[in-house]
Amino acid sequence: MSIPAAFGFHTTSDEVAKHYAPQIEGKTVLITGVSPNGLGAEAAAAIAQQKPKLLILAGRSPDKVRQTQEDIAKLAPGVETKPLILDLASLKKVRQAGEEVESRGIAIDVLINNAGVMALAERELTEDGYEVQFASNHIGPFLFTTTILPSLKRAPAPRIVNVSSWGHHLSPVLFDDINAEKSYDKWKRYGHTKTANILFAVALSRRGVCAVALHPGAIRTELLRHLTREDELAMGFIKEDGSPGDRFQFKSLKEGAATHIVAAFEPSLQDKGGVYLDDCQIQPEVEAYAVDQETAERLWTVSEELIQKALA
């Protein structure tokens, strides 16, 4: 079995979930970043309609997580969902959320690390003293994932999906200025976190858990909330007259979440850990620095050191 050749840019999450119904049925899936009208909630809704055993819906806002639970209950009333409050900008809270999951003693078949932030205009620091984009997009997910690895390893064929981005082309991981103390360019900072997402998948796959990364496409979600008109012009999202730009073709939420579901449930990916998907297919055009094994190990070590320093 391999990814259907017909799957592409316009394939929807519902179509993909139906295709993978046998793989989804009976599975326990944890998705982070499940705010309504976002990719995580859209992926959860599509998965819910194919009889999973349990959906754990993780997010920072209890109200938003509850709303997504209610939306799923209308679509798939027989599916069990559980909320998990997860604030990726606080390592103490991340560890608490991970320990809460571990205390349940369950097997988690799929973890989709979907939550993240993008292109904050100014350098901001978390309560741990780390630059917000790197903390929320990499360090927090790193700690959460490694904390719940025992739950994942209880599953027969666990899968971790890291939602990266085309933005990884903008920068390698900036090891020489990891906390943006020397300079802060919001796009380079975003890019280096998205590179980190891919490298984390590479490193996880070397540790006996299949992990893959993906670019969901350009989608108008809450992720773009920090962008100014000048940003959208510079990135080619819009033209001077405000009409859509030519550089990126925007996807709908359902088209964007389709790649999440391929990455999570396509059986042929189980022995292809560390790959990068785009438009529902494996994408060979990934920067070499984003899949380099030595760099992945360096990032793992640095991540552990940053976490130990913050939680000491």
Active site residues: 164, 190, 194
Contacts of 304 (CB under 8 A, 6+ apart): none
Gap between the Cα atoms of 277 and 293, Å rounded: 18
Gap between the Cα atoms of 69 and 57, Å rounded: 8
* Helix 91-103, helix 140-147: angle, nearest 10: 20
Q: Are 26 and 106 in contact (CB under 8 A)?
A: no
Tell me the two tokens of residue 160: 């971790």
Buried b (16+ CB within 10 A) or exposed e, 76-94: beebebbbbebbbbbbebb
Buried b (16+ CB within 10 A) or exposed e, 123-160: beebebebbbbbbbbbbbbbbbbbbbbebbeebeebbb
With tokens 């990891």, the residue in question is: 178
